[in-house]
Amino acid sequence: MKTIFLVDMQSFYASIEKARSPHLQHKPLVVSGDPKRRSGVILAACPLAKKSGIKNGERLWEAEQKCLDLVVVPPKMQDYITTSVEITNILEEYTDLVEPYSIDEQFIDVTGSQMLFGPPLEIAKKIQQEIWRSTKVRARIGIGENKVLAKMACDNFSKKNKTGIFWLKKEELEQTLWQLPVEKMFGVGGRMASHLRNMGIRTIGQLAAVPLPRLKDQWGINGHVLWMTANGDDLSPVTTASHDGQKAIGHGMTLPRDYISLAEIRVVLLELCEEVCMRARKSKVMGQTVTVSVSGASYEIKTGFHRQATLYEPTNYVMDVFRLAEGLFLQFWDQNPIRKLSVSLTKLCHDNELQLSLFDTARNKKVDLGYVMDGIKERYGTTALIRASSLTKAGQAFERAQKIGGHYK
């Protein structure tokens, strides 16, 4: 039988900040973006802050009202990435099967490690101790015979356990997992929980007991996955190749202010296409379907759109992607101010799968030009070559060059 761990870091960003500043150890602390740039959202809250009712994802001003002595620190993404890699290196000392799930969660398969490091609970304790000694971050570990059981063990039990470790065994699901509300199950969001409750399904156990054909008739393959998850079944292995062969490349941003004019919006749209194509070239791929997503400036009245269109042939050339993205934007924009904009490229193929053309003789030169520009940026920095439009007040290229994942390095 397989033995899988999900290793999750408690309040990851906040824990790193407290490790950096020991005098903040006993203070309520949150990591949040800059409210002046409309990125003032709680990214991580320490346990003391959470006791005041602060939650990840809420706005900073709301959190400050709940806790008057709240300590707010800006994110330092490069530090968090470095620490995440350090934790990966620790896990790889126990097994070669380590699969990052997010920056603060990683699956590991210790099935073949027990002869060297002992039984699962002993390995989990050793990992906790090693991570704490190296990073001063507390790890919670869920254990199961597959990834979905390990994930639900961690989310529903390890995080509420003093030891931070819980083993969710399939033969004990009736006494453990099946007692929980259906929204506590991995893969069930708010909308799905509402659908299930309308069907009279309140607990995970009730979902597990629903005949499989009924769920498949309702949701097809997704219904089958729901049934398998409720019953603790998961066939996906822990693999180091989980992020290979990506299906989409995208970039988006929350604008520092409401963008009203088309001229300003075009600047950011072009910059996003530039970043998407640069990432595509770095991955040696081209894409054929372009998607544009827009969110309106109003929080009360939701406006915006999510639309896509397909190019005649795959590309990673910026202006090809931009022309289609601009066309989509012009077709579906309601002329109202916008606060979020994103572009993505899908239907990817390898960049050496190029259909020869008798008419577009400049196409190879356009593709080659992109790779030459990437080489210059890699050597001298992402702002070594920049479009003139990015020098206007609407441009965000220089600001984004200082960030990782939308937050300052």
CATH number for the domain including 1? 3.30.70.270
In a domain, 49, yes or no: yes
In a domain, 338, yes or no: yes
Tell me the per-residue pLDDT of 133-189, one tens digit each, with 9 for 90 and over: 999 999 999 999 999 999 999 999 998 888 999 999 999 999 999 999 999 999 998
The reply to whether 320 sits in an annotated binding site is no
Residues 157 and 36 in one domain: yes
Residues 224 and 270 in one domain: no
Residues 92 and 117 in one domain: yes
Residues 149 and 197 in one domain: no
Residues 299 and 356 in one domain: yes
pLDDT for residue 409: 62
Is the Cβ–Cβ distance between 253 and 406 less than 8 Å?
yes
Domain boundary among the residues 168, 188, 207 is at 168
pLDDT for residue 388: 86
Q: Give buried/exposed letters for 192-207 (b at 16+ CB in 10 A, else e).
A: bbeebeeeebebbbeb
Residues 39 and 149 in one domain: yes
Domain CATH code at residue 253: 3.30.1490.100
Vertex 403 angle, CA 398 and 405, to 5°: 130
First-residue to last-residue Cα distance in the chain: 42
In a domain, 76, yes or no: yes
In a domain, 243, yes or no: no
Residues 261 and 226 in one domain: no
Tell me the per-residue pLDDT of 226-240, one tens digit each, with 9 for 90 and over: 999 999 999 999 988
Diameter over CA atoms, the chain = 70
Residues 314 and 184 in one domain: no
In a domain, 241, yes or no: no
In a domain, 236, yes or no: no
pLDDT for residue 397: 80
pLDDT for residue 198: 92
pLDDT for residue 400: 73
| Six token digits for residue 384 | 């070594």
Bridge partners, residue 304, by sequence: 295
Tell me the per-residue pLDDT of 194-222, one tens digit each, with 9 for 90 and over: 999 999 999 999 999 999 999 999 999 99
| Six token digits for residue 3 | 């033995």
Residues 158 and 71 in one domain: yes
pLDDT for residue 408: 63
Domain boundary among the residues 142, 168, 194 is at 168
pLDDT for residue 398: 77
pLDDT for residue 360: 57
Tell me the per-residue pLDDT of 39-94, one tens digit each, with 9 for 90 and over: 678 999 999 999 999 998 888 888 999 998 999 998 888 899 999 999 999 999 99
HEC states along the chain? CCCEEEEEECCHHHHHHHHHCHHHCCCCEEEECCHHHCCCEEEEECHHHHCCCCCCCCEHHHHHHHCCCCEEECCCHHHHHHHHHHHHHHHCCCCCCEEEEECCEEEEECHHHHHHHCCHHHHHHHHHHHHHHHHCCCEEEEEECCHHHHHHHHHHCHHHCCCCEEECCHHHCCCCHHHCEHHHCCCCCHHHHHHHHHCCCCEHHHHHHCCHHHHHHHHCHHHHHHHHHHCCCCCCCCCCCCCCCCCEEEEEEEEEEEECCHHHHHHHHHHHHHHHHHHHHHCCEEEEEEEEEEEECCCCCCCEEEEEEEEEEEECCHHHHHHHHHHHHHHHCCCCCEEEEEEEEECCEECCCCCCCCCCCCHHHHHHHHHHHHHHHHHHCCCCCCCHHHHCCCCCHHHHHCEECCEEC
CB burial class (10 A; 0-12, 13-18, 19+) of residue 186?
A: middle
Q: Does residue 2 register a pLDDT over 90?
A: yes
Residues 319 and 384 in one domain: yes
* Cα gap 76→63, rounded to integer Å: 20
| Six token digits for residue 298 | 């109003």
Residues 211 and 332 in one domain: no
pLDDT for residue 351: 80
Tell me the per-residue pLDDT of 92-123, one tens digit each, with 9 for 90 and over: 999 999 999 999 999 999 999 999 999 999 99
* Domain enclosing residue 190, as ranges: 177-230
The reply to whether 104 sits in an annotated binding site is yes
Whether the predicted model's global pTM rises above the 0.85 cut: no
In a domain, 240, yes or no: no
Domain boundary among the residues 168, 187, 214 is at 168
Give, in order, the Cα–Cα distances in Å from 109 to each of 3, 225, 325: 6, 22, 42
Residues 18 and 155 in one domain: yes
pLDDT for residue 407: 63
Domain CATH code at residue 188: 1.10.150.20
Tell me the per-residue pLDDT of 349-402, one tens digit each, with 9 for 90 and over: 888 766 555 555 566 677 778 888 888 888 888 888 888 888 888 888 877 777
Our answer to whether residue 399 is catalytic in this structure is no
**From the candidates 105, 264, 271, 275, which is the catalytic residue?**
105
Pairing of strands 42-45, 71-73: unpaired
pLDDT for residue 174: 94
In a domain, 235, yes or no: no
pLDDT for residue 39: 61
Q: Does residue 405 register a pLDDT over 80?
A: no
Residues 6+ apart with CB under 8 A from 285: 246, 249, 316, 348, 349, 350, 351
pLDDT band at 13 (very low <50, low <70, confident <90, very high): very high
Q: Does residue 243 register a pLDDT over 70?
A: no
pLDDT for residue 253: 86
Q: Does residue 268 register a pLDDT over 70?
A: yes
How many domains does the structure of the chain reveal? 3
